[in-house]
Amino acid sequence: MTGKKRLNSLEAALNNEMKEREFYLKNAERTGNPVGKAMFQQIAHEELEHYERLKELHETWAGAGKWPETVPLVVNDTAVKDLLKNVIKEAEKISEGDEDDLEAIRVAIDFESKGVAFYEKLRDEVADKKEKAFFDLLSRIEREHYLSLKEAEEFLVDPESWYTRAEHPSLDGA
């Protein structure tokens, strides 16, 4: 992959991260469901971090014409999965999600699925180990967002099954 194509890919990633962040913030504001609100706020926060790291990378790379040596390219892992479980356990009464919540989650699942594929493609097209590691990290975080959103979808569609699976019940045969 040429340097110009990689810069163009970073610009596309910047645009996607900001669009996704705006989507998550809008839905965090809209929903009355505490699980959806917490999840959308957390993912919006994480998308902003991705945007900031990608912007820093893009600016440095555009100026130097190569992968930067000094830009801190660490991105925090996602906290969405733990956040979802904690919010659900702490909430005394979770208001049911409405069709808008479910639709927003399904749109977000599509976003994150495409994000995984996009960052995996970038990872697979570069040779530099630091580039590979960075794009691999982003793809894994987007995958974690995807899995958390799938879990939230299950919770909204069938909370009883979600609780059964999340609580890991077992029959002791006694």
Task: Specify the residue for token string 């900001």.
Answer: 18
pLDDT tens digits, 138-163: 898 889 889 888 888 887 788 777 77
Look-up: residue for tokens 């097209």? 125
What average pLDDT does the structure give for the chain?
A: 80
Alpha-carbon gap, residue 34 to 92, rounded angstroms: 11
- The set of residues, in sequence order, having a beta carbon less than 8 Å from that of 148 and lying 6+ positions away, is 39, 43, 78, 80, 81, 84
- Residue 77's pLDDT band (cuts 50, 70, 90): low
Residues of the chain by 3-state class (helix, strand, coil), percent to 5? 80, 0, 20
Residues 170/129, Cβ–Cβ less than 8 Å: no
CA distances from 80 to 74, 84, 88, 96 (A): 18, 6, 12, 19
Return the closest-CA partner of residue 35 out of 171, 166, 173: 166
Q: Which two tokens stand for residue 84?
A: 């979802």
The per-residue pLDDT for range 79-126, each reduced to its tens digit, is 555 666 665 565 545 555 578 888 999 999 999 999 999 999 989 998
Position 38, amino acid: A
Tokens of 88: 């659900």
3-state secondary structure of 30: helix
Q: What is the per-residue pLDDT across 36-74, written as a single tens digit (0 to 9) for each?
A: 888 899 889 988 988 988 888 888 888 877 777 765 555
Contacts 24+ apart (CB under 8 A), 2-6: 3/61, 3/65, 3/66, 6/61, 6/122, 6/126, 6/131
Say if pTM beats, i.e. exceeds, 0.85.
no
Residue for token pair 């965090």: 28
